[in-house]
Chains A and B, each alone.
Chain A
Amino acid sequence: MSILLDRHGQRLEDHYPELAADQSVPANQAVLVPWARFGEIPENSKAGLLLPNTTDVLALPEAALRLPLLVLEFPSFADGRAYSQASFLLQRRHYPGQLRARGQAVVHDQLNMLRSCGFTQFQLRGDQDIDLCARLLSNQPSASTLRRFPSLP
């Protein structure tokens, strides 16, 4: 069971089950589709899209930006590429949907940085203390939220 939090530390339900390898992309149903099968997503789909951190999001087709959810992947604790993918998606592609972080870096010690970069949902790594993480997002000011240049969302 993966735990999903929003920007304020509130629990969210995950409406996007991962698409199984043998399953076809449903027409009108929330499901998480891997980037390799992006082409199978129909127009006006409710699907979410899972992007590896090596995807060039500046070249992402417009159709992907119309999806309600993009999930960015952190394959290891210290690999920060998806932070900059998030900046590109928000600042250059003006992606209006939900941006979810998942993977090895979605931990207590990086939540504030993830939030500052514009992620709206956090799929906590399995070993995380849920209450501690929720508390961090809900109130505690931390060093990384006190930056001055620039003032981020």
Chain B
Amino acid sequence: MYRYDQHDQQLVDARVAEFRDQTRRYLDGSLSADEFRHLRLRNGLYIQRFAPMLRISIPYGLLSSAQMRMLAHIARKYDKGYGHFTTRQNIQFNWPKLEEVPDILADLATVQMHAIQTSGNCIRNITSDPFAGAAADELVDPRPYCELTRQWATFHPEFNWLPRKFKIAFSSSTKDRAATRVHDIGIHIVRNAAGELGYEVYVGGGLGRTPIIGVKIRDFLPEADLLSYCEAILRIYNLLGRRDNMYKARIKILVKEMGLAAFAEKVEAEWTTIKDGPLKLKDGDLERMKAQFSQFELDPTAAEDGSYAQKLSEDPAFAAWTRRNLKDHRVPGYKLVFLSLKARGVAPGDVSAEQMDAIADLADRFAYGELRATHDQNLVFTDVRQQDLYPLWQELGRLGLATPNIGLLTDVICCPGLDFCSLSNASSIAVAEEIFDRFEDLDYQHDIGSIKLNMSGCMNGCGHHSVGHIGILGVDKKGEEWYQITLGGSSGNDASLGDRTGPSVERAHIADAIQTIVETYLKERLNEEEGFLACYRRVGMPPFKAKLYAESQA
């Protein structure tokens, strides 16, 4: 856990006071509604369909048990008893009262949390691999780099009024688990041939109406130049990004319209002049940042435990859960554990206050008091000894958090949809539930294997539909809900955008359509080893299209 020093605390406290004053001036009429909108958005406060929505920042998805308990408190005291984890590793509350938001922020500040820059046209929460620090395939722990970047981005005076929002993600492992290629800046921490650490930098990725996969702007940026390079990119974007049309204002459009070479030339020219200035990381900067993270000793004897193997052979339900919901840890005897937030009858990403408290207790008991939020809207305990897995699984089962479906069809990424959001065309949550019911049979899901189903209620793409192996997008046709389907998207190392199947499908047929697609895949695949994405990339759209539209006409 990154622990605030006095300076960090002072900054967050000052922001609470500032926002309280802004709210007061809005309520007494001395601040216009339009200007307050800009200011409150920079503090994560939206006015939604039914009530305000407050988005709280969880930097790179990392939470302590104390913070989780505070979220439970906020859910209970100011909201309707639950919160919603988002695809930016943040959490949203959908029912706070505007007048109470300053109090919520003051409560959050007591556990080193805030809502700074979780919305608005500024640099948003820095996201990263939810397995950071524990992943078996990791080069270095990306979190100190993320934190450094967070501190640079927080209240950056020059970049608070950008043409549009700006998202930065870090990855430091062989497998990209942070969807870096669909970020405005995606940073891969790498080592060059000389053995030096540095970054491979991607720019101009993003989802939304015009989804674009980011392109590489730099093969290798020296480690000390992280912030100056980001600054150069942001400066060029701030000046040249389009402001005439909000749908063309993201950096992806600028890079596309200018061409990568011309854009890169301007960035390099700027970077060359500032790289040896105050933004250059000094010896010890990263070390100090690392030291601000709490350290815990892992148990060196963890791998000696025999009870885990025994439980695996005795209890098939436990064994099934371990196959889907555990990932390898860098240290033998430890596992990363997924808490599935995709249970039957629950909106994807939703957690109740009672669950939050219980999760905090479990984190203290089994996981060194820490947990992570993932961009696919689940939670992770990163450091669990194998001997603790069985009791943890039992507890999670009681809490409804042990659905063994991580990476399977019902592990849907989904936006809040019509139920909350004023932009949505689709009741995404209800559709997700229908799909859950249709595919609940776990044997069937296991047979289908790893697959990403992503759903967004509108073109803004909060549910990342364009990078789902199967994507579903809610569209409005004369006041009716229709759904456009895409196939073949990916947000991993092989990032790609899904292709449209054809005309959209009406609400009543969406679950049938997904079933048709899945059945077509099962028929077309070479063998069980060939996953949905690989199969689609091999056979292409025709067999899916033929089946899908033949049936809808029948």
Contact = CB atoms under 8 A, between A and B. Distances in A.
A20 to B, nearest CB: 30
Contact of A143 (B11, B148, B151, B273): B11
B157 A109 contact: no
A85 B34 CA distance: 25
A152 B157 contact: yes
A109 B158 contact: no
A141 interface: yes
A143 to B, nearest CB: 4
Interface stretch (A3-11, A34-42, A63-71, A111-119): A111-119
Contacts of B39: 109
Given A91-B274, A109-B35, A150-B279, A83 B158 contact: yes
B158 A78 contact: no
Given A77-B34, A84-B235, A142-B14, A149 B151 contact: yes
Contacts of A143: 11-12, 14-15, 18, 116, 155
B14 A141 contact: yes
B161 A79 contact: yes
A45 interface: no
Q: Max chain A CB contacts within 10 Å: which of B14, B154, B157, B270?
A: B157
A81 B14 contact: no
Contacts of A151: 278
Interface string A25-46: 0000000000000000000000
Interface string B10-37: 1110110010001000000011001100
Given A92-B273, A143-B14, A151-B278, A87 B158 contact: yes
B520 interface: no
A21 interface: no
Interface string B155-176: 1111111100000000000000
A104 B1 CA distance: 41
Overall SS of chain B's interface:
helix
B157 A83 contact: yes
On chain B, which size bracket covers the interface? Answer: 35 or more
B239 interface: yes
A78 B165 CA distance: 12
B368 interface: no
Contacts of B156: 147
A24 interface: no
Contacts of B31: 109
B244 to A, nearest CB: 11
A80 B243 CA distance: 10
A84 to B, nearest CB: 4
A78 B7 CA distance: 28
Interface in A84-111: 84-88, 91-92, 105, 107, 109-110
A129 B161 CA distance: 22
A79 B279 contact: no
A80 B18 contact: no
Contacts of B121: 78
B234 to A, nearest CB: 8
A144 B155 contact: yes
A109 B22 contact: yes
A91 B277 CA distance: 10
B238 interface: yes
Contact of A149 (B11, B148, B243, B273): B148
A148 B161 CA distance: 19
Contacts of B159: 80, 83
Contact of B235 (A87, A105, A144, A150): A87
Contacts of B154: 147
Given A147-B151, A149-B151, A117 B239 contact: no
B184 to A, nearest CB: 16
Given A143-B14, A147-B154, A149-B279, A80 B161 contact: yes
Given A113-B155, A147-B155, 10 more contacts: A77-B34, A80-B161, A85-B239, A91-B274, A143-B11, A144-B160, A147-B151, A147-B157, A148-B7, A150-B227
26 contacts: A78-B121, A80-B161, A81-B239, A83-B238, A84-B158, A84-B238, A84-B239, A91-B273, A91-B277, A107-B35, A109-B31, A110-B161, A112-B157, A113-B155, A113-B157, A113-B158, A115-B157, A143-B11, A144-B157, A144-B160, A146-B7, A146-B10, A149-B279, A150-B278, A151-B278, A152-B278
Nearest 9 A-B pairs (CB), nearest first?
A80-B161, A150-B278, A116-B157, A113-B157, A143-B15, A149-B152, A143-B14, A144-B155, A146-B11
